[in-house]
Amino acid sequence: MVIIGAGPGGIYAAYEFVKKAPNLKVAIFEAGHQLQDRKCPIDGKKVLSCINCKDCAIMKGFGGAGAFSDGKYNITNDFGGTLYEYIGKRKAIELMEYVDEINIANGGAGTKMYTTAGSEFKKLCMQNKLTLLDANVRHLGTDINYRVLENLYAKLEHNVDFFFNTAVDKLEIIDGGFKIIAENGKSVTCEYCIASVGRSGSKWMEKVCEELNIPTRSNRVDLGVRVELPAPLFEHLTEELYESKIVYQTEKFEDRVRTFCMNPHGIVVHENTNGIVTVNGHSYEDPARHTENTNFALLVSKHFSEPFKDSNGYGESIARLSNMLGGGVIVQRFGDLERGRRSNEKRIQEGTVRPTLNATPGDLSLVIPKRILDGIIEMIYALDKIAPGTANDDTLLYGVEVKFYNMEACLDENLETCHKGLYIIGDGSGVTHSLSHSSASGVYVANKIIEKQ
Ligand SMILES: Cc1cc2nc3c(=O)[nH]c(=O)nc-3n(C[C@H](O)[C@H](O)[C@H](O)COP(=O)(O)OP(=O)(O)OC[C@H]3O[C@@H](n4cnc5c(N)ncnc54)[C@H](O)[C@@H]3O)c2cc1C
Protein backbone atom coordinates (compact mmCIF):
# COMPACT_ATOMS: atom_id res chain seq x y z
CA MET A 1 0.00 0.00 0.00
CA VAL A 2 1.59 3.30 -1.06
CA ILE A 3 0.36 6.77 -0.16
CA ILE A 4 1.79 9.64 -2.18
CA GLY A 5 1.81 12.84 -0.10
CA ALA A 6 1.86 13.32 3.68
CA GLY A 7 -0.67 16.15 3.92
CA PRO A 8 -3.87 15.72 5.94
CA GLY A 9 -5.39 13.39 3.30
CA GLY A 10 -2.41 11.01 3.41
CA ILE A 11 -1.89 11.27 7.18
CA TYR A 12 -5.48 10.43 8.17
CA ALA A 13 -5.58 7.55 5.65
CA ALA A 14 -2.37 6.19 7.24
CA TYR A 15 -3.84 6.72 10.72
CA GLU A 16 -6.81 4.49 9.79
CA PHE A 17 -4.56 1.79 8.37
CA VAL A 18 -2.38 1.73 11.48
CA LYS A 19 -5.43 1.63 13.76
CA LYS A 20 -7.58 -0.89 11.90
CA ALA A 21 -5.19 -2.93 9.75
CA PRO A 22 -1.86 -2.79 11.60
CA ASN A 23 -0.43 -5.68 9.57
CA LEU A 24 -0.88 -3.87 6.26
CA LYS A 25 2.47 -2.67 4.91
CA VAL A 26 2.13 1.07 4.31
CA ALA A 27 4.71 3.39 2.74
CA ILE A 28 4.37 7.15 2.34
CA PHE A 29 6.36 9.07 -0.26
CA GLU A 30 6.57 12.77 0.54
CA ALA A 31 8.30 15.40 -1.60
CA GLY A 32 9.00 17.69 1.37
CA HIS A 33 10.82 17.41 4.70
CA GLN A 34 9.72 15.81 7.90
CA LEU A 35 7.88 18.14 10.25
CA GLN A 36 10.75 19.43 12.39
CA ASP A 37 12.88 20.23 9.32
CA ARG A 38 10.26 22.38 7.62
CA LYS A 39 11.65 25.93 7.85
CA CYS A 40 10.67 28.83 5.63
CA PRO A 41 13.82 30.98 5.06
CA ILE A 42 11.89 34.23 5.51
CA ASP A 43 13.21 35.48 8.87
CA GLY A 44 12.18 39.13 8.74
CA LYS A 45 15.90 40.20 8.85
CA LYS A 46 18.13 38.78 6.10
CA VAL A 47 15.36 37.21 4.06
CA LEU A 48 12.33 39.46 3.87
CA SER A 49 10.28 37.84 1.16
CA CYS A 50 9.84 34.61 -0.74
CA ILE A 51 12.96 33.31 -2.49
CA ASN A 52 11.16 30.55 -4.42
CA CYS A 53 12.71 27.47 -2.76
CA LYS A 54 12.40 24.36 -4.95
CA ASP A 55 10.33 22.63 -2.29
CA CYS A 56 8.35 25.28 -0.41
CA ALA A 57 8.51 24.51 3.33
CA ILE A 58 5.10 26.07 3.85
CA MET A 59 3.32 23.89 1.30
CA LYS A 60 5.31 20.66 1.41
CA GLY A 61 6.40 18.12 3.99
CA PHE A 62 4.73 16.16 6.78
CA GLY A 63 1.43 17.96 7.47
CA GLY A 64 1.17 19.23 3.89
CA ALA A 65 -0.11 22.73 3.17
CA GLY A 66 -1.96 22.55 6.48
CA ALA A 67 1.08 22.26 8.77
CA PHE A 68 1.50 25.97 9.52
CA SER A 69 -2.11 26.81 8.80
CA ASP A 70 -4.52 28.24 11.27
CA GLY A 71 -5.89 24.76 11.84
CA LYS A 72 -9.52 25.64 11.28
CA TYR A 73 -11.43 22.44 10.75
CA ASN A 74 -14.79 23.44 9.29
CA ILE A 75 -17.35 20.69 9.74
CA THR A 76 -19.82 21.47 7.01
CA ASN A 77 -20.96 20.49 3.53
CA ASP A 78 -21.57 24.15 2.64
CA PHE A 79 -17.93 24.85 1.74
CA GLY A 80 -14.47 23.29 1.79
CA GLY A 81 -15.18 20.77 -0.95
CA THR A 82 -17.77 18.59 -2.57
CA LEU A 83 -16.97 15.28 -0.89
CA TYR A 84 -20.68 14.86 -0.12
CA GLU A 85 -21.41 14.56 -3.85
CA TYR A 86 -19.48 11.29 -3.83
CA ILE A 87 -20.23 9.80 -0.42
CA GLY A 88 -23.43 11.52 0.75
CA LYS A 89 -23.95 14.44 3.12
CA ARG A 90 -24.43 12.44 6.31
CA LYS A 91 -21.35 10.26 5.77
CA ALA A 92 -19.23 13.33 4.97
CA ILE A 93 -20.24 15.04 8.23
CA GLU A 94 -19.72 11.82 10.22
CA LEU A 95 -16.18 11.52 8.87
CA MET A 96 -15.36 15.17 9.57
CA GLU A 97 -16.58 14.67 13.14
CA TYR A 98 -14.46 11.54 13.40
CA VAL A 99 -11.40 13.52 12.27
CA ASP A 100 -12.25 16.09 14.94
CA GLU A 101 -12.23 13.31 17.56
CA ILE A 102 -8.77 12.22 16.38
CA ASN A 103 -7.52 15.81 16.65
CA ILE A 104 -8.96 16.16 20.15
CA ALA A 105 -7.34 12.90 21.23
CA ASN A 106 -3.95 13.99 19.86
CA GLY A 107 -3.40 17.36 21.44
CA GLY A 108 -6.45 19.37 20.39
CA ALA A 109 -8.36 18.94 23.68
CA GLY A 110 -9.34 22.27 25.19
CA THR A 111 -9.60 24.09 21.85
CA LYS A 112 -12.86 25.75 21.03
CA MET A 113 -15.63 24.61 18.69
CA TYR A 114 -17.60 27.52 17.24
CA THR A 115 -21.02 27.20 15.60
CA THR A 116 -23.35 29.33 13.48
CA ALA A 117 -26.38 27.44 14.85
CA GLY A 118 -28.76 29.91 16.51
CA SER A 119 -26.52 32.88 15.77
CA GLU A 120 -28.16 36.33 15.70
CA PHE A 121 -25.76 37.23 12.89
CA LYS A 122 -27.72 35.15 10.39
CA LYS A 123 -30.56 37.67 10.64
CA LEU A 124 -28.25 40.68 10.62
CA CYS A 125 -26.59 39.36 7.46
CA MET A 126 -29.94 38.71 5.76
CA GLN A 127 -31.04 42.27 6.54
CA ASN A 128 -27.98 43.51 4.66
CA LYS A 129 -28.12 41.28 1.58
CA LEU A 130 -25.46 38.98 2.99
CA THR A 131 -25.72 35.24 3.66
CA LEU A 132 -23.96 33.58 6.57
CA LEU A 133 -23.13 29.95 5.70
CA ASP A 134 -23.70 27.21 8.27
CA ALA A 135 -20.72 25.49 9.91
CA ASN A 136 -19.17 24.16 13.08
CA VAL A 137 -15.56 25.29 13.27
CA ARG A 138 -12.86 23.72 15.42
CA HIS A 139 -10.07 26.27 15.72
CA LEU A 140 -6.86 24.52 16.68
CA GLY A 141 -4.60 27.49 15.94
CA THR A 142 -1.22 27.21 14.25
CA ASP A 143 0.57 26.12 17.43
CA ILE A 144 -1.86 23.36 18.52
CA ASN A 145 -2.25 22.20 14.92
CA TYR A 146 1.52 21.65 14.87
CA ARG A 147 1.38 19.72 18.14
CA VAL A 148 -1.40 17.46 16.79
CA LEU A 149 0.79 16.71 13.77
CA GLU A 150 3.75 15.87 16.03
CA ASN A 151 1.56 13.45 18.00
CA LEU A 152 0.13 11.84 14.87
CA TYR A 153 3.63 11.34 13.47
CA ALA A 154 4.72 9.68 16.72
CA LYS A 155 1.81 7.23 16.34
CA LEU A 156 2.56 6.46 12.71
CA GLU A 157 6.34 6.31 12.51
CA HIS A 158 6.74 2.75 13.85
CA ASN A 159 4.18 1.19 11.50
CA VAL A 160 4.61 3.25 8.36
CA ASP A 161 7.69 3.53 6.11
CA PHE A 162 8.15 7.24 5.51
CA PHE A 163 10.26 8.42 2.57
CA PHE A 164 10.77 12.17 2.95
CA ASN A 165 12.36 14.40 0.31
CA THR A 166 11.23 11.75 -2.15
CA ALA A 167 8.96 13.22 -4.80
CA VAL A 168 7.24 10.61 -6.92
CA ASP A 169 7.95 11.05 -10.59
CA LYS A 170 6.11 8.24 -12.34
CA LEU A 171 3.14 6.06 -11.53
CA GLU A 172 2.93 3.02 -13.80
CA ILE A 173 0.28 0.34 -14.10
CA ILE A 174 1.69 -3.17 -13.82
CA ASP A 175 0.16 -6.61 -13.43
CA GLY A 176 -1.68 -6.73 -10.07
CA GLY A 177 -1.07 -3.13 -9.14
CA PHE A 178 1.23 -0.17 -9.58
CA LYS A 179 4.88 0.76 -9.81
CA ILE A 180 5.85 3.97 -8.06
CA ILE A 181 9.08 5.56 -9.27
CA ALA A 182 10.55 8.49 -7.36
CA GLU A 183 12.64 11.33 -8.80
CA ASN A 184 15.66 9.99 -6.90
CA GLY A 185 15.31 6.63 -8.67
CA LYS A 186 13.78 4.71 -5.76
CA SER A 187 10.92 2.47 -6.87
CA VAL A 188 8.36 0.19 -5.21
CA THR A 189 5.37 -1.82 -6.34
CA CYS A 190 2.01 -2.02 -4.58
CA GLU A 191 -1.51 -3.40 -4.96
CA TYR A 192 -3.18 -0.18 -3.81
CA CYS A 193 -2.08 3.40 -4.28
CA ILE A 194 -3.59 6.56 -2.81
CA ALA A 195 -2.50 9.80 -4.47
CA SER A 196 -2.93 12.69 -2.03
CA VAL A 197 -0.65 15.36 -3.44
CA GLY A 198 -2.61 18.52 -2.64
CA ARG A 199 -2.36 21.77 -4.49
CA SER A 200 1.43 21.74 -4.70
CA GLY A 201 1.16 18.44 -6.58
CA SER A 202 -1.50 19.67 -8.98
CA LYS A 203 0.73 19.76 -12.07
CA TRP A 204 2.10 16.30 -11.30
CA MET A 205 -1.42 14.94 -10.79
CA GLU A 206 -2.52 16.39 -14.14
CA LYS A 207 0.44 14.71 -15.83
CA VAL A 208 -0.38 11.34 -14.23
CA CYS A 209 -4.06 11.58 -15.22
CA GLU A 210 -3.02 12.34 -18.78
CA GLU A 211 -0.54 9.44 -18.91
CA LEU A 212 -3.03 6.98 -17.41
CA ASN A 213 -6.01 8.26 -19.42
CA ILE A 214 -7.98 9.28 -16.35
CA PRO A 215 -10.59 11.82 -17.52
CA THR A 216 -10.43 15.25 -15.82
CA ARG A 217 -12.20 18.58 -15.89
CA SER A 218 -11.06 22.01 -14.75
CA ASN A 219 -12.96 25.25 -14.94
CA ARG A 220 -12.68 27.25 -11.72
CA VAL A 221 -10.31 29.68 -10.01
CA ASP A 222 -11.03 32.08 -7.12
CA LEU A 223 -9.44 35.53 -7.20
CA GLY A 224 -9.44 38.39 -4.77
CA VAL A 225 -7.65 40.19 -1.98
CA ARG A 226 -6.85 39.74 1.70
CA VAL A 227 -8.37 42.41 3.90
CA GLU A 228 -6.62 43.50 7.09
CA LEU A 229 -8.26 45.77 9.65
CA PRO A 230 -8.28 46.46 13.39
CA ALA A 231 -9.51 43.35 15.24
CA PRO A 232 -12.17 45.20 17.30
CA LEU A 233 -14.14 45.94 14.12
CA PHE A 234 -14.93 42.24 13.64
CA GLU A 235 -14.79 41.14 17.27
CA HIS A 236 -18.57 40.79 17.64
CA LEU A 237 -18.46 38.23 14.80
CA THR A 238 -15.16 36.50 15.51
CA GLU A 239 -15.78 36.06 19.26
CA GLU A 240 -19.02 34.20 18.61
CA LEU A 241 -18.24 32.42 15.34
CA TYR A 242 -14.46 32.71 14.97
CA GLU A 243 -14.68 32.20 11.23
CA SER A 244 -17.74 33.53 9.43
CA LYS A 245 -18.25 32.53 5.82
CA ILE A 246 -20.36 35.33 4.41
CA VAL A 247 -21.56 35.49 0.82
CA TYR A 248 -22.69 38.59 -1.08
CA GLN A 249 -24.28 38.73 -4.50
CA THR A 250 -23.13 41.86 -6.32
CA GLU A 251 -25.77 44.18 -7.71
CA LYS A 252 -23.82 45.08 -10.81
CA PHE A 253 -22.84 41.67 -12.20
CA GLU A 254 -24.68 39.29 -9.84
CA ASP A 255 -21.33 37.65 -9.03
CA ARG A 256 -20.89 35.94 -5.67
CA VAL A 257 -18.17 37.40 -3.44
CA ARG A 258 -17.36 35.52 -0.24
CA THR A 259 -15.26 35.90 2.85
CA PHE A 260 -12.66 33.19 3.26
CA CYS A 261 -10.17 32.14 5.93
CA MET A 262 -10.81 34.66 8.68
CA ASN A 263 -7.97 35.11 11.17
CA PRO A 264 -8.84 37.13 14.26
CA HIS A 265 -5.70 38.77 15.72
CA GLY A 266 -3.76 37.00 12.98
CA ILE A 267 -1.03 37.74 10.48
CA VAL A 268 -0.97 38.02 6.71
CA VAL A 269 1.56 35.72 5.02
CA HIS A 270 3.06 34.95 1.63
CA GLU A 271 2.14 31.73 -0.12
CA ASN A 272 4.22 30.24 -2.89
CA THR A 273 2.52 27.90 -5.33
CA ASN A 274 4.72 26.62 -8.14
CA GLY A 275 6.90 29.77 -7.94
CA ILE A 276 4.03 32.27 -7.88
CA VAL A 277 3.75 34.41 -4.76
CA THR A 278 0.26 35.09 -3.49
CA VAL A 279 -1.14 36.06 -0.11
CA ASN A 280 -2.78 34.08 2.70
CA GLY A 281 -3.26 34.43 6.45
CA HIS A 282 -3.25 32.59 9.75
CA SER A 283 -3.42 33.17 13.49
CA TYR A 284 -2.17 31.56 16.66
CA GLU A 285 -4.20 30.08 19.50
CA ASP A 286 -1.62 31.42 22.00
CA PRO A 287 -2.74 34.95 23.07
CA ALA A 288 0.93 35.96 23.41
CA ARG A 289 1.20 35.72 19.61
CA HIS A 290 -1.96 37.67 18.83
CA THR A 291 -1.73 40.83 16.75
CA GLU A 292 -4.01 43.87 16.90
CA ASN A 293 -5.48 43.02 13.47
CA THR A 294 -7.92 40.61 11.89
CA ASN A 295 -7.54 39.44 8.30
CA PHE A 296 -9.73 37.56 5.85
CA ALA A 297 -9.93 37.05 2.12
CA LEU A 298 -12.62 38.34 -0.22
CA LEU A 299 -12.83 36.04 -3.20
CA VAL A 300 -14.79 35.86 -6.42
CA SER A 301 -15.11 32.49 -8.16
CA LYS A 302 -14.44 32.58 -11.85
CA HIS A 303 -15.95 29.70 -13.81
CA PHE A 304 -15.00 29.30 -17.44
CA SER A 305 -16.82 27.52 -20.22
CA GLU A 306 -15.55 25.79 -23.37
CA PRO A 307 -13.24 26.17 -25.19
CA PHE A 308 -11.14 27.73 -22.39
CA LYS A 309 -9.87 25.08 -19.99
CA ASP A 310 -6.89 26.59 -18.17
CA SER A 311 -8.60 28.34 -15.24
CA ASN A 312 -5.49 27.96 -13.06
CA GLY A 313 -3.36 29.46 -15.85
CA TYR A 314 -5.66 32.49 -15.81
CA GLY A 315 -5.25 32.88 -12.03
CA GLU A 316 -1.48 32.40 -12.32
CA SER A 317 -1.22 35.14 -14.97
CA ILE A 318 -2.97 37.62 -12.68
CA ALA A 319 -0.78 36.62 -9.73
CA ARG A 320 2.30 36.97 -11.95
CA LEU A 321 1.20 40.49 -12.85
CA SER A 322 1.15 41.45 -9.18
CA ASN A 323 4.56 39.74 -8.72
CA MET A 324 5.87 41.73 -11.71
CA LEU A 325 4.61 45.10 -10.43
CA GLY A 326 5.23 44.56 -6.72
CA GLY A 327 8.08 42.03 -6.70
CA GLY A 328 5.63 39.87 -4.75
CA VAL A 329 2.47 40.83 -2.92
CA ILE A 330 1.03 44.35 -3.31
CA VAL A 331 -0.65 46.22 -0.44
CA GLN A 332 -3.05 49.13 -0.88
CA ARG A 333 -5.19 51.22 1.47
CA PHE A 334 -8.89 50.96 0.62
CA GLY A 335 -9.07 54.78 0.51
CA ASP A 336 -6.30 54.90 -2.09
CA LEU A 337 -8.02 52.27 -4.21
CA GLU A 338 -11.27 54.24 -4.09
CA ARG A 339 -9.42 57.45 -5.08
CA GLY A 340 -7.69 55.74 -8.00
CA ARG A 341 -4.15 56.24 -6.70
CA ARG A 342 -1.44 53.84 -5.64
CA SER A 343 -0.48 53.52 -2.00
CA ASN A 344 3.08 54.46 -1.04
CA GLU A 345 5.25 53.81 2.02
CA LYS A 346 4.31 57.15 3.58
CA ARG A 347 0.54 56.70 3.29
CA ILE A 348 0.75 53.14 4.63
CA GLN A 349 2.92 54.28 7.55
CA GLU A 350 0.60 57.17 8.38
CA GLY A 351 -2.44 54.85 8.29
CA THR A 352 -4.03 53.54 11.48
CA VAL A 353 -3.75 49.88 10.45
CA ARG A 354 -0.24 48.53 10.93
CA PRO A 355 0.47 45.90 8.24
CA THR A 356 1.52 42.48 9.51
CA LEU A 357 3.11 41.53 6.16
CA ASN A 358 5.96 43.32 4.49
CA ALA A 359 4.37 43.89 1.06
CA THR A 360 4.99 46.47 -1.66
CA PRO A 361 2.62 49.47 -1.62
CA GLY A 362 0.97 49.69 -5.03
CA ASP A 363 -2.23 49.82 -7.03
CA LEU A 364 -4.39 46.71 -7.17
CA SER A 365 -6.56 48.14 -9.94
CA LEU A 366 -3.60 47.58 -12.31
CA VAL A 367 -3.67 43.89 -11.48
CA ILE A 368 -7.17 42.66 -10.69
CA PRO A 369 -9.78 42.58 -13.50
CA LYS A 370 -12.37 45.35 -13.13
CA ARG A 371 -15.35 43.06 -12.72
CA ILE A 372 -13.72 41.24 -9.81
CA LEU A 373 -12.44 44.43 -8.19
CA ASP A 374 -15.87 46.09 -8.48
CA GLY A 375 -17.41 43.07 -6.74
CA ILE A 376 -14.86 43.26 -3.92
CA ILE A 377 -15.49 46.99 -3.41
CA GLU A 378 -19.28 46.39 -3.30
CA MET A 379 -18.77 43.62 -0.74
CA ILE A 380 -16.58 45.85 1.45
CA TYR A 381 -19.43 48.37 1.62
CA ALA A 382 -21.94 45.56 2.37
CA LEU A 383 -19.70 44.29 5.20
CA ASP A 384 -19.41 47.85 6.48
CA LYS A 385 -23.11 47.63 7.40
CA ILE A 386 -22.64 44.64 9.70
CA ALA A 387 -19.12 45.58 10.83
CA PRO A 388 -18.89 49.38 10.63
CA GLY A 389 -15.36 50.52 9.80
CA THR A 390 -14.69 47.83 7.21
CA ALA A 391 -14.83 50.47 4.47
CA ASN A 392 -12.49 52.88 6.31
CA ASP A 393 -9.76 54.49 4.21
CA ASP A 394 -7.02 52.77 6.21
CA THR A 395 -8.31 49.22 5.71
CA LEU A 396 -5.52 47.33 3.97
CA LEU A 397 -5.99 45.17 0.90
CA TYR A 398 -3.26 42.72 -0.09
CA GLY A 399 -3.23 41.16 -3.51
CA VAL A 400 -3.57 38.95 -5.00
CA GLU A 401 -5.11 36.08 -3.17
CA VAL A 402 -5.77 33.18 -5.49
CA LYS A 403 -7.37 29.86 -4.70
CA PHE A 404 -6.25 27.45 -7.34
CA TYR A 405 -8.43 24.43 -7.82
CA ASN A 406 -6.94 21.21 -8.96
CA MET A 407 -8.48 19.70 -12.02
CA GLU A 408 -11.21 17.33 -10.92
CA ALA A 409 -10.33 13.75 -11.71
CA CYS A 410 -13.14 11.43 -12.76
CA LEU A 411 -13.72 9.22 -9.67
CA ASP A 412 -16.43 6.81 -8.56
CA GLU A 413 -18.27 6.82 -5.23
CA ASN A 414 -15.21 5.21 -3.58
CA LEU A 415 -12.91 7.99 -4.88
CA GLU A 416 -11.35 5.29 -7.04
CA THR A 417 -10.18 5.95 -10.60
CA CYS A 418 -10.95 3.84 -13.66
CA HIS A 419 -7.80 1.87 -12.67
CA LYS A 420 -8.97 -0.38 -9.82
CA GLY A 421 -6.79 0.10 -6.75
CA LEU A 422 -5.76 3.67 -7.62
CA TYR A 423 -7.50 6.31 -5.49
CA ILE A 424 -7.15 10.08 -5.63
CA ILE A 425 -8.06 12.00 -2.48
CA GLY A 426 -7.74 15.41 -0.81
CA ASP A 427 -7.13 18.68 -2.62
CA GLY A 428 -5.18 16.86 -5.33
CA SER A 429 -8.42 15.24 -6.48
CA GLY A 430 -10.18 18.56 -6.96
CA VAL A 431 -12.93 17.17 -4.69
CA THR A 432 -11.75 18.86 -1.48
CA HIS A 433 -10.31 22.29 -0.65
CA SER A 434 -9.93 22.14 3.12
CA LEU A 435 -8.35 20.39 6.08
CA SER A 436 -11.51 18.65 7.25
CA HIS A 437 -12.67 17.48 3.83
CA SER A 438 -9.23 16.27 2.74
CA SER A 439 -8.72 14.44 6.07
CA ALA A 440 -12.19 12.89 5.83
CA SER A 441 -11.47 11.70 2.28
CA GLY A 442 -8.35 9.93 3.60
CA VAL A 443 -10.30 8.14 6.34
CA TYR A 444 -13.00 7.18 3.82
CA VAL A 445 -10.67 5.63 1.26
CA ALA A 446 -8.60 3.82 3.91
CA ASN A 447 -11.77 2.14 5.15
CA LYS A 448 -12.78 1.20 1.61
CA ILE A 449 -9.40 -0.51 1.13
CA ILE A 450 -9.54 -2.18 4.57
CA GLU A 451 -12.99 -3.62 3.68
CA LYS A 452 -11.38 -5.32 0.67
CA GLN A 453 -8.73 -7.08 2.80
C1 LIG B 1 -1.26 29.17 4.70
C2 LIG B 1 -2.43 28.22 4.56
C3 LIG B 1 -3.46 28.26 5.50
C4 LIG B 1 -4.55 27.37 5.39
N5 LIG B 1 -5.50 27.40 6.37
C6 LIG B 1 -6.51 26.50 6.34
C7 LIG B 1 -7.47 26.43 7.38
O8 LIG B 1 -7.38 27.13 8.40
N9 LIG B 1 -8.51 25.56 7.25
C10 LIG B 1 -8.64 24.74 6.18
O11 LIG B 1 -9.60 23.97 6.11
N12 LIG B 1 -7.72 24.75 5.18
C13 LIG B 1 -6.66 25.60 5.24
N14 LIG B 1 -5.73 25.61 4.23
C15 LIG B 1 -5.86 24.60 3.16
C16 LIG B 1 -5.43 23.23 3.67
O17 LIG B 1 -4.12 23.32 4.19
C18 LIG B 1 -5.53 22.21 2.55
O19 LIG B 1 -6.86 22.16 2.09
C20 LIG B 1 -5.11 20.82 3.03
O21 LIG B 1 -3.78 20.84 3.53
C22 LIG B 1 -5.21 19.79 1.90
O23 LIG B 1 -4.71 18.57 2.33
P24 LIG B 1 -4.13 17.50 1.29
O25 LIG B 1 -3.59 16.37 2.09
O26 LIG B 1 -5.16 17.21 0.30
O27 LIG B 1 -2.95 18.25 0.50
P28 LIG B 1 -1.64 18.99 1.04
O29 LIG B 1 -1.83 19.44 2.43
O30 LIG B 1 -1.29 19.99 0.02
O31 LIG B 1 -0.54 17.84 1.07
C32 LIG B 1 -0.05 17.25 -0.10
C33 LIG B 1 1.36 16.74 0.15
O34 LIG B 1 1.76 15.99 -1.00
C35 LIG B 1 3.14 16.25 -1.26
N36 LIG B 1 3.40 16.01 -2.69
C37 LIG B 1 3.00 16.74 -3.76
N38 LIG B 1 3.41 16.19 -4.90
C39 LIG B 1 4.11 15.08 -4.55
C40 LIG B 1 4.82 14.09 -5.30
N41 LIG B 1 4.88 14.10 -6.64
N42 LIG B 1 5.46 13.10 -4.61
C43 LIG B 1 5.42 13.05 -3.24
N44 LIG B 1 4.77 13.98 -2.50
C45 LIG B 1 4.11 14.97 -3.14
C46 LIG B 1 3.34 17.70 -0.88
O47 LIG B 1 4.69 17.93 -0.57
C48 LIG B 1 2.40 17.84 0.33
O49 LIG B 1 3.09 17.66 1.55
C50 LIG B 1 -4.62 26.47 4.31
C51 LIG B 1 -3.60 26.43 3.35
C52 LIG B 1 -2.49 27.27 3.47
C53 LIG B 1 -1.39 27.21 2.45
Write out the DSSP string of 141-154. Answer: HHHHHHHHHHHHHH
User: At 359, is the pLDDT very low, low, confident or very high (cuts 50, 70, 90)?
Assistant: very high
Burial class of residue 25 (count of CB atoms within 10 Å of its CB; 0-12, 13-18, 19+)? middle
Residues with Cβ within 8 Å of residue 415, at least 6 apart in sequence? 86, 87, 423, 424, 425, 429, 431, 441, 444, 445, 448
**169 pLDDT more than 90:** yes
Question: Which pLDDT does position 264 carry in this prediction?
Answer: 94
What type of residue sits at position 346?
K
Separation CA 428–CA 203 (nearest Å): 9
Pocket flag, ligand 1, residue 434 (CB < 6 Å):
yes
How many Cα atoms are found within 13 Å in the side-chain-facing hemisphere of 181?
Answer: 9
**Cross-strand partners of 225:** 298
Q: What is the mean pLDDT of the chain?
A: 94
Torsion of CA 392, 393, 398, 401, to 10 degrees: 50
**140 C-alpha to center of ligand 1: Å?**
16
Sheet (strand 112-115) strand order: 72-75, 136-139, 112-115
Which SS3 state, helix, strand or coil, does residue 179 take? strand
Distance (Å) from CA 286 to ligand 1 centroid: 23
Q: Provide the CA 203 distance to its chain's centre, in angstroms.
A: 17
Helix (H) or strand (E) holding 319: helix 311-326
Atom 3 of ligand 1, nearest CA residue:
69
Task: Average the pLDDT over 379-388 and give the result.
Answer: 98
In this predicted structure, the answer to whether residue 43 has a pLDDT above a threshold of 90 is: no
Query: What pLDDT shows up at residue 282?
Result: 86
Under the banding of pLDDT at 50, 70 and 90, the label for residue 260 is very high
Cβ of 408 below 6 Å from ligand 1: no
Is residue 9 within 8 A of residue 442, CB to CB? The reply is: yes
* Among 329, 297, 258, 274, CA closest to 70: 297
Ligand 1 pocket test target in 78, 170, 200 with most atoms within 8 Å of CB: 200
Query: 274-332: per-residue pLDDT in tens?
Result: 788 999 998 887 899 999 999 999 999 988 887 787 888 899 999 999 999 888 899 99
Atom of ligand 1 nearest to the CA of 5: 34
What average pLDDT does the segment 182-195 reach?
A: 96
CB-based burial label for 241 (10 Å; 0-12, 13-18, 19+): buried
Alpha-carbon distance 375 to 371, whole Å?
6
pLDDT for res 407: 87
Q: What is the pTM of this model?
A: 0.84
Q: How far is CA 3 from CA 133, 178, 393, in A?
A: 34, 12, 49
**Substitution site in 72, 438, 441, 444 for ligand 1 pocket (most atoms within 8 Å of beta carbon):** 438
Distance 57 CA to ligand 1 centre (A): 11
Q: What percent of the chain has pLDDT over 90?
A: 79
Say if residues 282 and 70 touch (Cβ distance below 8 Å): yes
Give yes or no for residue 403 CB within 6 A of ligand 1.
no
Q: Is there a contact between 412 and 422 (Cβ–Cβ < 8 Å)?
A: no
Spatial distance between the Cα atoms of 226 and 398, rounded to a whole number of angstroms: 5
Find, among 164, 195, 196, the residue nearest to 36 by Cα: 164
Among 376, 174, 400, 164, which residue's Cα sits nearest to residue 276? 400
Q: Which of 338, 342, 339, 302 is nearest to 322 (CA)?
A: 342
- Residue to probe by mutation, ligand 1, list 54, 138, 283, 427, most atoms within 8 Å of CB: 427
Average pLDDT in the 83-95 region? 97
